[in-house]
Structure 1
Amino acid sequence: MSCPSVGDKPDADPKAGWPTLHATEEAKPITLGVPQNVWGTLTLFSPEPKTRRQDLYDFNRELSALITALRAERLTLVTGLRRTGKTSLLRVALGEAGVTYLYVDVRLSLYAGYRDIAEVFARSLEDLLRRESSLADRLREALRGLGGLEVSLGPPSVRVTFRGRGRLSLSDLFTRLNDLGEPIVVAVDEAQELRKANWLRFDRLFAYAYDNLPNVRLVLTGSQFGLLYDFLGLEDPRAPLFGRAFREVRTRRLSPDEALDFLERGFSEAGVRCPGDLMEKAVDALDGIIGWLTYFGHLYVTGGLRDLEDVVRAASSLALEELRDLISSLRSPRYAVILRALAGGRAPWAAIRRRLEDYEGRGLNPATVSQLIGTLVKLGVVEEVNGEYAIADPVYRLAASRL
């Protein structure tokens, strides 16, 4: 059973006002010519995840909801499209909630092994030791004798070891964190990536923590939110976490007015003048995705790219590599066919089926077509809009024409 979501938005209408780019054009090399005095003042357009409220654009409703959840809920999900500010929202909320937390970034290689997982948690524990010096002695004592890790306080370090006491047990680690005797948030960024470690049932681990470790609060983010739901089994009666109450906070696109205000504030902060008509074109082209708006502002201020076509071309080249990696991991050229079919805008299910059948030169089972489209929806790449399908991210939409 889930609690209401925060940050819902109405169905978005894909934008039409793209800069004119040819599918074969590649991005020009970017040479950063950073004005002196820019780096010290660039916060809204800084590409790094934000950690302070004053650097986070006006997501006050979502931030307030997440802070409340961090202080009270056993399981919280932070979901939304790529580049809509999930990591920044989480990092700011963790800093403001006044809770002890373990921040775990689990962007893993395709075939994640034991060492990959152990290293991720070791880095997170070391970060916790450095942040919470008052907790260091208690944490070291709590981790004493835990297999697979060596903990030192001078200077604070946690490293993976293969000597002596065997491998790291994450259930033992969570139990020892619980035994610290105070609430601790375990925040896992892009949690659906853990499915790559298919030799370890993280859904069971999280269910064990939920049911037995009252001091451990779980916060999981995911841009592939359909996969995150499937991975956790939240809607599967056979899954360990089914029926557990959780809170969901969703990031969102900015409205056109918000997007324009964001750009105006960012350029004012950097002391750089950007023509109003160029900002309006950027708002139309980037469809309220704050990560791409930040990318535009950052390149305009620091990279000397003053032409929107150049910026969008650079962004689409980055998106193209991400799409190619995604399609490679899915191991079927059919996904590229679907994305090319949607590169020009929305399309109904029947039109997508026709494109697939034209590509293969034979008829396809309707269930197969639905499964292929459904996978892209779960990945957060495609969304359903009023009975049709569209690529959710405008830059991905442009990149798809170059697949």
Structure 2
Amino acid sequence: MFRQGPCEKRDELFDREEELRGTIEALRNNVWVAILGMRMSGKTSLAKVAANILSKEGFSYIYVDLRGISNVSGMSRRIINSISEGFFSRMRDYLEKIRVWEVEMSLRKTSKTRTMEEILTELSKRRRLIVILDEVQEIKGGINHFLSMLARLRNSTRNLSFLFTGSSIGLMDTLLHPSRGSPMYGRSPLEIELGPWSGRVAFQFIREGLEKCSIEYNDNEIEDALRVLGTLPGWLSFYGIRRCLGKDHENALRDSESEAIDVALGELRNAIRERGEWARRALRMIAAYGARWSDLDVGVSDSTLSDFLKRLKKLYIISEESGTYIVPDPIYRKAAMRL
């Protein structure tokens, strides 16, 4: 029940029934889907479980991890590599054709985007295909070519569906809110948003997981874990794994909190990258006490500060309550104070 990596089977996924049902129904009806949420909310798990359920109905799927990729050329290369290494293990006869294709495209200097389009079109002729593009938000370079490819595929290939995951910035934001001139205008994917669990669901998750591991616990320990870690599934799994491996409550909580803060720090550093010291100060102010607009005098223009706060909201790092900006997740609050 507590996992280091994403869930893949239905019985591994805790809660999220409504979101899973919506994702599956959309893909069955050839509606493209965007799963939104912050890191550790379970986006990848939801995508993989939905795809695996549909694989029993005749679908195939390709999973592509786009972390660390910042342009469409790199994304195309990773998609093609994912096809060759995974999907075609069951289609050996077609693998050689794809290899020849890639060589021909290279010799003709055809773009990787066009190569990818031809491959996906051919694959979708064989059976219904889902392409999961995980963590698309940081893709920047070459977006227009990619959007044009998506529009062509959307118009010509009914057996092909895309499932995107990420935060609502960058390419994801462009997909969800295309301008009138965008080739994807009127073709936005269905949004499914994953937030933290409620306290009740998070409590039940830890309790059931510990019971499956035959670990002795008391309710005060679970409440303590929720107070320190919050209710994001990923943070709670850090704690649950350690308890199931035999660590006592205090050591498991200390170690899982430390690991979670390290992960969150990486996300925050990426969020403020290239924005200077003022961004770090603004985020620390919000994390420490909560801050109103008038409190955030950090030496930049109103438009610059506004754009930064909007980005943090779209990354689900901050929220706004009655005019006050806060960092709702306790792990991200602690990580922000260490920037």
TM-score range, shorter chain: 0.7 to 0.9
- The structure richer in helix per residue is 2
| RMSD (Å) for aligned C-alpha atoms | 2.6
Match for residue 218 of structure 2 among 266, 275, 278: 275
Match for residue 300 of structure 1 among 240, 243, 267: 243
- Are the counterparts in 1 of residues 41 and 233 from structure 2 also a CA contact under 8 Å? yes
State which drifts further: 90-99 or 207-216: 207-216
In the TM superposition, structure 1's runs of 4+ consecutive aligned residues that sit over 6 Å from their partners are: none
- Are the counterparts in 1 of residues 235 and 256 from structure 2 also a CA contact under 8 Å? no
Alignment partners' CA distance in 2, 1:206 and 1:120? 14
1:328-348 CA distance string (max 9 Å, x none) = 3x3422221111011224322
State which drifts further: 79-88 or 303-312: 303-312
2:95 is equivalent to residue 140 of structure 1: yes
Which residue does the alignment assign to 1:27? none
Match for residue 261 of structure 1 among 201, 204, 229: 204
Which residue does the alignment assign to 2:159? 215
Alignment partners' CA distance in 2, 1:140 and 1:248? 34
1:280-310 CA distance string (max 9 Å, x none) = 1212333321111111112233373632344
Write the letter of the residue equivalent to 2:277. Answer: P
Write the letter of the residue equivalent to 1:247. Answer: L
The number of residues matched between the two structures is: 332
State which drifts further: 369-378 or 314-323: 314-323
- Are the counterparts in 2 of residues 377 and 383 from structure 1 also a CA contact under 8 Å? yes
Which residue does the alignment assign to 2:276? 332
Unmatched 5+ stretches in structure 1: 1-43, 150-160, 358-363
Unmatched 5+ stretches in structure 2: none
Which residue does the alignment assign to 2:234? 291
Return closer, same or farther for 1:199/1:387 CA change in 2, 3 Å cut-off: closer
Alignment partners' CA distance in 2, 1:310 and 1:338? 28
Q: Secondary structure at the match of 2:102?
A: coil
- Are the counterparts in 1 of residues 76 and 116 from structure 2 also a CA contact under 8 Å? no
Write the letter of the residue equivalent to 2:67. Answer: R
2:314 is equivalent to residue 378 of structure 1: yes
Return closer, same or farther for 1:314/1:217 CA change in 2, 3 Å cut-off: closer
TM-score (norm 2): 0.87
Alignment partners' CA distance in 2, 1:125 and 1:226? 29
Q: Secondary structure at the match of 1:147?
A: helix
Deviation (angstroms), 1:386: 3.4
Alignment partners' CA distance in 1, 2:276 and 2:223? 38
Alignment partners' CA distance in 1, 2:189 and 2:144? 23
Return closer, same or farther for 1:243/1:57 CA change in 2, 3 Å cut-off: same
Which residue does the alignment assign to 2:267? 322
Return closer, same or farther for 1:203/1:385 CA change in 2, 3 Å cut-off: farther
Return closer, same or farther for 1:148/1:326 CA change in 2, 3 Å cut-off: farther
Alignment partners' CA distance in 2, 1:235 and 1:113? 17
1:306-330 CA distance string (max 9 Å, x none) = 32344323321332233224433x3
Alignment partners' CA distance in 1, 2:97 and 2:320? 48
Return closer, same or farther for 1:402/1:303 CA change in 2, 3 Å cut-off: farther
Aligned-pair identity (%): 28
Which residue does the alignment assign to 1:205? 149
Deviation (angstroms), 1:221: 0.7
Match for residue 87 of structure 2 among 122, 128, 150: 128
Which residue does the alignment assign to 2:179? 236
TM-score (norm 1): 0.74
Deviation (angstroms), 1:395: 0.7
